[in-house]
């Protein structure tokens, strides 16, 4: 359930303080040194940011999706990379909270909600990205458990996380043959690839997760056999909103930096802010972000209310907001001129970070496919 407006504003203020004091001063350095600030993440857990939409009985904050997108927008104003990882971690925590048995919830969720332990979401494979139903990782029944074999690709937090929610094939080809499993980070047979060299998101590790005969007891299966794809997709609905919110926060910060730069930078005898063409660009950027925020909040409320069109709205928001936010951040870089290209200003980092948001949690082309198919079904 979403918090009341006054309470939500208070939450947003606290998260902004955390972002300004703990994230923003370090964002460029963490990016340059590829430092994953686990200690800072644990302090985020102290604020309740490890289980935002998770039940209070297992240490979560018990908030709604509208609250979550407000929180992630504020976090991303401090550091888009770390905010995005916190989003992924929350997706893992919420999946266990929503799909798990009471025993699973009590065993796994509290350490994730406090961020004493970190979580990774393992769906994508080297040959199964957008077509997640084609994944090849297998889970073979063996006595009182399962044996998992396969490789997961582009996994955020891999090598550092203590919990991996892994989708593996237990049955027929396609989505109906997929089952979800909770795999601890110290499982025998679990290993990790090298930390990928990426365009952005330098401050969070991205590695392959290799499962070589990993034995998982049946009590660590999440849901029934064949329910894994549905669990993964339901998790992605919230994840798509959160990553859109991260884009929105990063782009809003970049716009504010651009306004300040144009106010202080002089060219041809006058501040750049007096140039009407540049002011018009600022106006367009602000309009795009305000429109994005409205759609994002609308989609979040639909997910909170379990509306029939919630999946479509989540896809719409993810596609529209991440596209608009990247364009705004890139324009902010342009308005900074050569300074925007320098790492010390932080603008180029945000541009690099936001670019991947148009790809992960389902590419924006897939988002358009989801929306288009929903329209066709509604018209039938």
Query: Does residue 63 sit in helix, strand or coil?
Result: coil
Q: In whole angstroms, what is the distance from residue 349 CA to residue 188 CA? A: 37
Buried b / exposed e along 219-258 (16+ C-beta atoms within 10 A): ebbbbebbbbbebbebbbbbbbbbbbbbbbbbbbbbbebb
- Tell me phi and psi for residue 113, to 5 degrees: -60, -35
The token pair that represents 12 in the structure block = 């947003």
Buried b / exposed e along 325-362 (16+ C-beta atoms within 10 A): bbebbbbbbebbeeebeeeebbbbbbbbbbbbbbebbb
| DSSP calls for 155-200 | EETTTT-SEEEEEEE-SSSSGGGEEEEEEETT-TTEEE-PPP--SS
Q: In whole angstroms, what is the distance from residue 73 CA to residue 76 CA? A: 5
Annotated catalytic residue, options 22, 74, 288, 361: 361
Establish whether 361 is a catalytic residue: yes
Beta-sheet pairing, 206-217 with 221-222: unpaired
Q: In whole angstroms, what is the distance from residue 26 CA to residue 33 CA? A: 11
The catalytic site residues sit at 361
């Amino acid at each position: 359930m979403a918090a009341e407006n006054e309470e939500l504003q208070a939450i947003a203020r606290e998260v902004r303080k955390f972002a300004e004091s703990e994230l923003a001063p370090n964002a460029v350095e963490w990016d340059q040194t590829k430092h994953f600030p686990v200690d800072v993440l644990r302090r985020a857990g102290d604020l309740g940011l490890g289980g935002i939409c998770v039940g209070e009985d297992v240490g979560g904050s018990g908030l709604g999706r509208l609250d979550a997108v407000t929180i992630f927008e504020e976090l991303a104003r401090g550091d888009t990379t770390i905010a995005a990882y916190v989003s992924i971690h929350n997706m893992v925590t919420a999946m266990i909270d929503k799909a798990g048995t009471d025993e699973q919830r009590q065993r796994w969720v509290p350490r994730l909600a406090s961020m004493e332990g970190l979580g990774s979401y393992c769906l994508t494979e080297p040959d199964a990205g957008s077509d997640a139903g084609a994944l090849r990782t297998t889970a073979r029944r063996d006595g009182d458990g399962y044996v998992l074999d396969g490789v997961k690709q582009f996994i955020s937090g891999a090598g550092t996380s203590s919990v991996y929610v892994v989708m593996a094939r237990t049955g027929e080809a396609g989505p109906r043959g997929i089952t979800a499993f909770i795999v601890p980070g110290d499982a025998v047979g679990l290993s990790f690839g090298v930390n990928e060299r990426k365009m952005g998101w330098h401050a969070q590790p991205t590695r392959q997760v290799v499962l070589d005969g990993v034995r998982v007891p049946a009590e660590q299966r999440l849901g029934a056999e064949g329910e894994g794809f549905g669990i993964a997709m339901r998790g992605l609905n919230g994840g798509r909103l959160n990553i859109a919110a991260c884009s929105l926060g990063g782009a809003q910060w970049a716009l504010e930096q651009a306004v300040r730069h144009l106010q202080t930078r002089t060219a041809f005898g006058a501040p750049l802010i007096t140039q009407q063409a540049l002011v018009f660009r600022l106006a367009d950027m602000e309009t795009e972000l305000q429109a994005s925020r409205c759609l994002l909040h609308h989609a979040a409320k639909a997910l909170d209310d379990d509306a029939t069109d919630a999946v479509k709205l989540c896809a719409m928001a993810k596609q529209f907001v991440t596209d608009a936010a990247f364009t705004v951040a890139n324009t902010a870089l342009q308005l900074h001129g050569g300074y925007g290209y320098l790492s010390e200003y932080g603008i180029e980092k945000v541009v690099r970070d936001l670019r991947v948001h148009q790809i992960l949690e389902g590419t924006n082309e897939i988002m358009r496919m989801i929306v288009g198919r929903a329209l066709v079904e509604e018209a039938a």
